[in-house]
Structure 1
Amino acid sequence: MMEEKKKTGFVDRFLNKIEVAGNKLPDPILIFIILMGVILAGSFVASLFNLKATNPVSGEVIEAVNLLSGEGLLKILSESISNFSAFPPLGMVLVVMLGVGLAEKTGYFETAMKRVIEVAPRALIIPTMILVGILGTVAGDAGPVILPPIAAMVMMKLGYHPFAGLVMAYAATLGAFGANLVLGMADALVLGFTEPAAQLVNPDYVGNIAMNYYFMAASTIFLLSIIYLVTTKLTIPRLGAYTGQVMDDKKLTPTQISALRWANISAVITAIVILALAIPENGLLRNAETGSLITNSPLMNSAVFIITILFFVPGLVYGLKVKTIQSSKDFGNLLSDAMSTMGSYIVLVFFAAQMLAYFNWSNLGPILAIKGANALEAMKVEGVPLIVGFIILTMAINLLIGSASAKWAILAPIFVPMFMYLGYDPAFTQMIYRVGDSITNPITPVLPYLPLLLAFAKKYDKNVGIGTLIANLLPYSIALFFAWTIFTVVWYLLGIPVGPNGPIFLPN
């Protein structure tokens, strides 16, 4: 490992400086509190200087509102509870967590990941692990927590260095976070911020949880190939052979395998029932008037709850079969444990909801968006440069603020309206954000998973440092940046919708 450190000394020093700087940032909750104060002060200053902008669509003159006035303070005091309770992401994420949390706590996700890797042919093992990592993002914390140590043990079985499995799985679960074949909690979360931001421009705007799905699904296959190439052509040769003690891993028991089989059968049956309600022309989940499955249909309106059911049912069946659920008390405790992990998110949402409400009431959002759009138009910054610039900006912010929801809560009220004034649909803006937000995830020092990855690595090399991990993760972020950015630009130039009711440009 000493030779490796000499080769990557500059990278280690540079990224360690980023880590130190990132650790000095306050907690995201405090960041939102600070932003609330900044918005209040900004509303006062903007009102004092009579800041205004003209809506290019309606011609309406929008003026800044002073929230530190008597009327503004009363509004802040009287509507704080409704700001929180009516905040769209809160209900969606908590409901999805009922299903995802139960599937995780019963052990269904972990067993499913292990089984897929166990039964895959040797030539497909590495691609399979990458695919499982990308798909594992629907399981929330399960992917970056469970898959890296499993992948490390599998790599040792194949004769490779276990670190290759650790960094590959970590990069797959986090670097490709914006790609998937399955809709999940992340889709509901970003929509919850995109929709109210778009409504600053168009109060009637309604998005849907699947509006990035075409791009996400295509990106899954594309990024699988990129991560595979980096792993086989760079990571594995660079790390070389492992000379330490090979650790024995526990195989799945017959009971776990049987339980997984029944859980998967239950998931398939549940999916068939949903399809039976959706596919027929008079299906219950279609729009009763138009027959559409997408536009204002029960399928899309209930998508969050349907996703919850698709995770909840197999998680419940698995728990019953392996006896992690033996009584109603066990069932209740598992659900409570799953929801208890959302405590910090709920606190974060309270302050995020207030910040967004203040931003909305002050009119600073649409004013900044209009003036920003006008400035971009004057500089002729649009199209490809605009897309690439927004991706790079999001990547940079991600190095300092790890939480995807925290970043999008800050950026959405500015960039969604700004892009709308330039003619871009909110679904496209959201998609660009998700690309930038994913790329630097593997090397972001402020995510809680990196110290965990280091703990896994120390099982194989007690002297390993975080710099070694970053040095091996950095090639993934670099490759993802160039490849995924080019992929996004080509998608844009071809004019392909990013998902159902997710065009690139706003309809005329």
Structure 2
Amino acid sequence: MLTNDKDLRLTDRLLNRIERTGNKLPHPVILFFIFSVCVLFLSWFVSLFEVAVNHPGTGETIRAVNLLSKSGIRRIFTEAVGNFTGFAPLGVVLVAMLGVGVAEKSGLISAVLKKTVLSAPDRYITAVVIFAGIMSNIASDAGYVVLVPLGAVIFAAKGRHPLVGLAAAFAGVSGGFSANLLISTVDPLLAGLSQEAAQLIDPAYTIPPTVNYYFMVASTFLVTIIGTWVTEKIVAPRFGEYEGDHEETLEEITSEENNGIKSALIWLGLLLAVILFLTVPQNGILRNDQGNLIMGGSPFVGGIVPLITLFFFVPGLAYGKKTGSIENSNDIAKFLNETMAGMGGYITLAFAAGQFVAYFKWSKLGTILAIGGAEFLQSINFTGLPLIISFIIVAGFINLFIGSASAKWAIMAPVFVPMLMQLGYSPEFTQMAYRIGDSTTNIITPLMSYFAIIIAFAKKYDDDIGIGTLISTMVPYSIAFMIGWTLLLIVWFIFNLPIGPGGTIFY
């Protein structure tokens, strides 16, 4: 992909430099182990200076933990297996892939892609992939597992570089994580933390999950437009033509495949009917005891991954039975085994990444960095838009080290929500600004939980791809999203537009 820098634009030369530097790093598995060792020694070094901060929410004094102490070393050995099995994306990916594997091996995904791609104008493919990625956060993290690899397949089927499709899908799923046309699981989660922080100033203040809805709807279209432009003008030209030996060919759809798709749709409809029966009634089984479907830790939200698995498994089984690609239960077992065999590389990455994430969490280094960054921004004493923009940048920077949106907001909300309330800005507006910073740097940090699996997907098309290639590919998206999304917030601020039902800019 790299060419002579003298023949390239300044942007391309800069991205190539990032790629070269990043690709000089070891294999991601080895790199995560190196990171883990570095965290161990850094925790020891920082602990020598007795660095401590006060958690703004709980008042607890947080100190760096020396992981090379007797208790730390014991923990490294005794919890190694738990770090692996407890690595959040591991179970999500493997369970979801069981359903996706049956749908793929039976031929359903290929048939649906053929039917969709062959009928869709080429000029809309990029926008559709990015838009679908943004919308996928309704199903929590399933977009990482399902849509990112599908983006690569779709582009390959169109005769374009599959890694460009993968990048576009990743940009939509992760870079546009906070945007959506519907209320997703992240809305009530953040609103609850914002409400707790707001009640430090106003005990009667309430924040419904819908407070950012209008802004997030507008953001969905903005991110789609920006992502499409970055893909076509910056990313695609850098990759050029695909010269690998992994091709995705889509021949004309056959009558047998059409019948299989019809059967899959019928069974999908039946499955949807069952899900509706379990969710629509106020006392539905997948609602919690208070009747909530989304909030309050409902079984529907908690079971979203198995539901996604069923949404692929059942139609895939129906398609396979109709077309003959599945003749008996042995075929199902074979498809499942083949799917899991193909996940070996990711499982190895998950073990290494799981240790690193655990060590970083145990050391408290990430929490100390986040609180320190928040206190620094508070001390700048900015007001108005300069403060809001600085806040977005700090949130994006902290996101490079702590991937969880709720974990960061639990730390930052008790500082910034009360502070900005006293300056006249509503908690929901502060939350809205935070979501911009939180989303836009997801795609350029190896600490993001699903970064490892994105690399694993990419290696299907280029075995030499490294962290440098992926980060350099995603940097233009991150910068463009940050700038464009911030400008949208400035427009909202200047014209004092409503940000959502029950949400205002000023307190």
Distance 1:367 1:345 in 2: 30
After superposition, the Cα gap between the structure-2 partners of 1:369 and 1:276, relative to the gap in structure 1 and judged at 3 Å, is same
Give the structure 1 partner of residue 290 of structure 2.
289
How big is the shift at 1:251? Answer: 0.9
Give the structure 2 partner of residue 65 of structure 1.
65
After superposition, the Cα gap between the structure-2 partners of 1:344 and 1:324, relative to the gap in structure 1 and judged at 3 Å, is same
- Give the alignment of 1:82-97 within 5 angstroms: 82-97=82-97
Give the structure 2 partner of residue 207 of structure 1.
none
Give the structure 1 partner of residue 466 of structure 2.
none
Unaligned runs of 5+ in 1: 153-161, 203-209, 243-247, 398-406, 456-469
Give the structure 1 partner of residue 154 of structure 2.
147
User: Does the aligned pair in 2 maintain the 1:52–1:63 contact within 8 Å?
Assistant: yes
How big is the shift at 1:100? Answer: 2.3
SS at match of 1:284: coil
Distance 1:412 1:182 in 2: 14
Code of the aligned partner of 2:39:
I
How big is the shift at 1:61? Answer: 2.3
Unaligned runs of 5+ in 2: 134-142, 198-209, 242-248, 418-426, 464-470
- Give the alignment of 1:140-219 within 5 angstroms: 140=147, 142-152=149-159, 169=165, 172-178=168-174, 179=176, 219=219
TM-score by length of 1: 0.67
How big is the shift at 1:297? Answer: 1.5
After superposition, the Cα gap between the structure-2 partners of 1:231 and 1:311, relative to the gap in structure 1 and judged at 3 Å, is same
Distance 2:364 2:475 in 1: 40
User: Does the aligned pair in 2 maintain the 1:64–1:362 contact within 8 Å?
Assistant: yes
Distance 2:264 2:271 in 1: 11
Q: Deviations over 1:348-387 (max 9, x none)?
A: 2223333333333333333333222222211247532232
Distance 1:40 1:171 in 2: 33
Give the structure 1 partner of residue 306 of structure 2.
305
Distance 1:93 1:56 in 2: 34
How big is the shift at 1:24? Answer: 0.3
Q: Deviations over 1:211-247 (max 9, x none)?
A: 9999887655444444566789x79xx99xx9xxxxx
Give the structure 2 partner of residue 352 of structure 1.
353
Distance 1:427 1:303 in 2: 25
How big is the shift at 1:284? Answer: 1.5
Code of the aligned partner of 2:34:
I
After superposition, the Cα gap between the structure-2 partners of 1:286 and 1:350, relative to the gap in structure 1 and judged at 3 Å, is same
Give the structure 2 partner of residue 279 of structure 1.
280
- Give the alignment of 1:326-365 within 5 angstroms: 326-365=327-366
Distance 2:314 2:158 in 1: 27
Give the structure 1 partner of residue 137 of structure 2.
none
User: Does the aligned pair in 2 maintain the 1:175–1:480 contact within 8 Å?
Assistant: no
Distance 1:364 1:478 in 2: 26
How big is the shift at 1:15? Answer: 3.3
Distance 1:98 1:349 in 2: 17
Code of the aligned partner of 1:346:
I
User: Does the aligned pair in 2 maintain the 1:278–1:285 contact within 8 Å?
Assistant: yes
User: Does the aligned pair in 2 maintain the 1:175–1:439 contact within 8 Å?
Assistant: no
Code of the aligned partner of 1:435:
T
Over the residues paired in the alignment, what is the CA RMSD in angstroms?
5.0
Given the alignment of the two structures, is residue 375 of structure 1 paired with residue 376 of structure 2, yes or no? Answer: yes
Given the alignment of the two structures, is residue 131 of structure 1 paired with residue 131 of structure 2, yes or no? Answer: no
Distance 1:504 1:270 in 2: 40
Distance 2:474 2:38 in 1: 36
User: Does the aligned pair in 1 maintain the 2:373–2:394 contact within 8 Å?
Assistant: no
Give the structure 2 partner of residue 24 of structure 1.
24
User: Does the aligned pair in 2 maintain the 1:366–1:414 contact within 8 Å?
Assistant: no
Distance 1:211 1:35 in 2: 39
After superposition, the Cα gap between the structure-2 partners of 1:345 and 1:182, relative to the gap in structure 1 and judged at 3 Å, is farther
After superposition, the Cα gap between the structure-2 partners of 1:487 and 1:41, relative to the gap in structure 1 and judged at 3 Å, is same
After superposition, the Cα gap between the structure-2 partners of 1:449 and 1:329, relative to the gap in structure 1 and judged at 3 Å, is closer
- Give the alignment of 1:392-431 within 5 angstroms: 415=408, 418-423=411-416
Give the structure 2 partner of residue 465 of structure 1.
none
State the percentage of identical aligned residues: 33
Code of the aligned partner of 1:376:
L
Q: Which moved more, 1:167-176 or 1:361-370?
A: 167-176
After superposition, the Cα gap between the structure-2 partners of 1:497 and 1:414, relative to the gap in structure 1 and judged at 3 Å, is same
Code of the aligned partner of 1:273:
V
User: Does the aligned pair in 2 maintain the 1:372–1:418 contact within 8 Å?
Assistant: no
How big is the shift at 1:167? Answer: 8.7
SS at match of 1:331: helix
